[in-house]
Amino acid sequence: MATTAQLFEEPFDADEYIERLAWRTPGGGSKGGAEAFDPKRLLEEFENHIEELKQLDEKIQRRVEKLEHQCHREAKEFAHKVQDLQRSNQVAFQHFQELDEHISYVATKVCHLGDQLEGVNTPRQRAVEAQRLMTYFNEFLDGDLRSDVFNNPDKIKEAADIIQKLHLIAQELPFDRFADVKAKIASKYHDLERQLIQEFTVAQRRGEIGRMREVAAVLLHFKGAYIRNDVFEDTAVLCQRVNKQVGEVFSSPETVMAKLIQNIFENKLQAHVREKLDETRHSDVEQYLKNLYDLYTRTTALATKLTEFNLGSDKHTFLSKLIKSIFSSYLRNIQELKERIRQRTNLPLGPIIDTHGETFLSPELVVNLLQETRHAFERCHRLSDPSDLPKNAFSIFLLLVDHLCVEHIDYALEIGLSAIPSPDAKNANLYFLDVVQQANSIFHLFDKQFNDQLMPLISSSPKLAECLQKKKDVIEQMEVKLDTGIDRTINCMVGQMKHILATEQKKTDFRPEDENNVMIQYTAACSKVCAYVSRQVEHVRKSMDGKNVDTVLTELGVRFHRLIHEHLQQYSYSSMGGMLAICDVAEYRRCAKDFRVPLVLQLFDTLHALCNLLVVAPDNLKQVCSGEQLTNLDRNLLHAFVQLRVDYRSARLGRHFS
């Protein structure tokens, strides 16, 4: 049979191939019986067929070599094409980079040009606006409002914008020269305000929400509060009535409600309080105190009612500041009255429970006092006889110490100390650090004046030693009170943390009922404590300066660590509870990093290592206790932490410490 490559295609069976070859060879198969079998013929056929197979193999081999040669040639051609494409791509990429750099350059030029245009256009727009306002101001100055904007009812919105700006400008003008024009602008201001209120009222009665929204956007910038009878009752009723409509009309209803309440407090309510108290302030002290108590009580009750409205995220602080702005001067008078009574009767009065955030330090008063003292030193230098100059300068200095350091700073520190809550107080407001900050700033100004104005006048006289000693005594007296107040404030902070832990931490936190279903990263108590600590750290940084920051934060951090250390020893821990305790301590440690005090961070690192004893396998306990962070600790402390494990007895862990 003819030998071709197709005979060897898969599937190929060699036995079947031989059988088929023998069968087709005459005398090679079983056909015709044993007599017809011719082995020589079959051998000859096999030999011939083998030769054909050799020739076929050579033919196929030549074809394979030809194809391999062709493949190599095409591979080389393809490689050359790829290299050409890579070179083209590199060139294109370089062009792209150049184009990108050029685009960036052009963009920079465009931005620079835009900034220049804006720098030119903004002053131009301001100049145009100023010229326009001057034109309108001249009309009020002449008394003839010729512009259509003030006479056309359809342009009331534009007129309102102009009159608001003119009203602000008029407030800055001296009264003696511009009294007439200020009165005209104020009259027009209130006239437009009344017109807008009338339009708003008409739209409200008709239920035209769109028109109300449009008028309200203009009226929002006017100061108005419209209360008639009992100011406290009317305020509550007014806010209750308009609250829903404000929500429908304005896009930021909380801002509008807050502004409404602020205007009522700063205008109507403050005027009402001033009127009531001024009637008896000097004539009948007893009635004055009764009125003050009644007004303050009703104001705080009103503020409590107003908390039901949406006034923003921190409405309690907002309302407290409004109350403080009304009553701070009267409360300060109360403290002065208490001091006079104490001095005359020698009877101690109770501590001040809440100063509503008042520090009783006035930067304006301090600046004025130092300014007057500076003028006094200048007059002393110019007018005094050289022999009397040191003595006169020393007298002025004693007056400054008495009024600034004793009557102002020292008095504020006393009030601040008495206002610090006890460590057991809940939700206490800590204002003493604000007193520290302001007292620090004031004393820096005092020290600067001492060096700049006083020292040149007494530097060569015996009075220098007396001044330096007096200054040293004042500083030491203030530092004692500052240290006492800061220490009590830190105690109060720790008390707040202890209160959070006591109310938020549950025993089941560290012994969960389902050990396999604990999904939280750290407990709620840990989260709230860390948030509180972060706020206090930030408060300390704002209130202190220099090394005082590190000193106070070190003390706070050590007490914070001690509290957490003692707190963790109050619970027993399962395996999963121990892991959760480690997560809590890791979060406390992250919070401790905000202190930026190496000692505090080291303490929490050690506490974190101690908590690992709550979860380590019993067989590895001894090795962990000998680790780098725990090897120097007292073994009794290590044993105390291991005893907190629920498997302490069952796993016989006490044997590692015997």
3-state SS class at 265: helix
The phi-psi region of residue 33 (left if phi > 0; otherwise alpha if psi is between -120 and 50; otherwise beta) is left
3-state SS class at 573: strand
Selected from 1.10.8, 1.20.58, 1.10.3430, 1.10.10, the CATH number assigned to the domain covering 505-656 reads 1.20.58
For the chain (658 residues), the mean pLDDT of every run of 10, in chain order, is 57 75 67 66 81 87 92 91 90 88 84 78 78 78 74 76 79 73 78 80 78 75 54 80 77 81 84 82 74 82 84 79 81 60 44 61 88 88 84 92 89 86 75 86 90 90 91 91 91 92 86 67 90 92 88 94 92 88 92 93 91 85 80 84 86 76
Residue 441's identity, in one-letter code, is S
Rounded Cα distance between 368 and 559, Å, is 41
Question: DSSP letters along 344-410, please?
Answer: HH--PPPPP---TT-----HHHHHHHHHHHHHHHHHHHHHS-TTTHHHHHHHHHHHHIIIIIIIIII
Which sign does the torsion angle of CA 462, 463, 464, 467 carry?
A: positive
For residue 188, give the nearest of 212, 159, 214, 213 by alpha carbon: 159
Residue 454's identity, in one-letter code, is L
First vs last Cα of the chain: how many Å apart? Answer: 97
Rounded Cα distance between 310 and 533, Å, is 28
Taking residue 575's Cβ as centre, other Cβ atoms within 10 Å add up to: 14
pTM above 0.85, yes or no: no
Q: Is the peptide bond before 39 cis (omega within 30 degrees of 0)?
A: no
Total length of the chain: 658
Beta bridge partners of 573: 645
| Cβ partners under 8 Å of residue 635, min gap 6 | 625, 657
Structure tokens of 50?
Answer: 């083998």
pLDDT for position 346: 40
pLDDT for position 348: 39
DSSP state of 37: -
Return the ∠ at Cα 49 (arms to 45 and 53), rounded to 5°: 170
Burial class (CB in 10 A: 0-12, 13-18, 19+), 42: middle
pLDDT for position 333: 63
Beta bridge partners of 585: none
Domain segments of the chain: what residues? 38-141, 153-343, 363-483, 505-656
3-state SS class at 312: coil
| Cβ partners under 8 Å of residue 208, min gap 6 | none
pLDDT for position 550: 92
pLDDT for position 9: 62
pLDDT for position 351: 46
The answer to whether the CB of 425 falls within 8 A of the CB of 492 is yes
CA atoms within 13 A on the CB side of 264: 24
Q: Is the peptide bond before 11 cis (omega within 30 degrees of 0)?
A: yes
3-state SS class at 154: helix
Rounded Cα distance between 51 and 57, Å, is 10
Q: What is the CA radius of gyration of the chain?
A: 46
For residue 552, give the nearest of 564, 539, 565 by alpha carbon: 539
